């Protein structure tokens, strides 16, 4: 019975910390876009049609398909 006098305040303290941590993550926007990162993995970064793509000089040069 004496153990409950110690375990109940510890459980309440852990619960308060968990609620504060969850509230912080919600307010910081960590749960705003859950599907975007999953689709971003599938995008090809070398495609010039992808927004934010910066062409390199070797990408613009014509490719020689002949084997030397």
Phi-psi region of 66 (alpha: psi -120 to 50; beta: other; left: phi over 0): beta
Q: Average pLDDT of the chain?
A: 78
Average pLDDT rounded to a whole number, residues 41-63: 60
Q: Does residue 16 have a pLDDT over 60?
A: yes
Residue (of 44, 61, 63, 62) closest to 53 by Cα position: 44
Question: On the CB side of 18, how many CA atoms lie within 13 Å of its CA?
Answer: 6
DSSP string, 5-62: HHHHHHHHHHHHHHHHHHHHHHHTTTTS-SSHHHHHHHS-TT-TTSTT----HHHHSP
Structure confidence at residue 24 (pLDDT): 97
Average pLDDT rounded to a whole number, residues 5-31: 95
Q: Does residue 31 have a pLDDT over 90?
A: no
């Amino acid at each position: 019975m004496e153990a409950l006098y110690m375990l109940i305040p510890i459980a309440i303290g852990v619960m308060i910390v968990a609620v504060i941590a969850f509230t912080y993550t919600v307010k910081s926007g960590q749960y705003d876009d859950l599907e975007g990162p999953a689709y971003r993995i599938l995008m090809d970064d070398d495609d010039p049609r992808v927004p934010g793509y910066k062409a390199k000089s070797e990408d613009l040069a014509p490719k020689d398909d002949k084997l030397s």
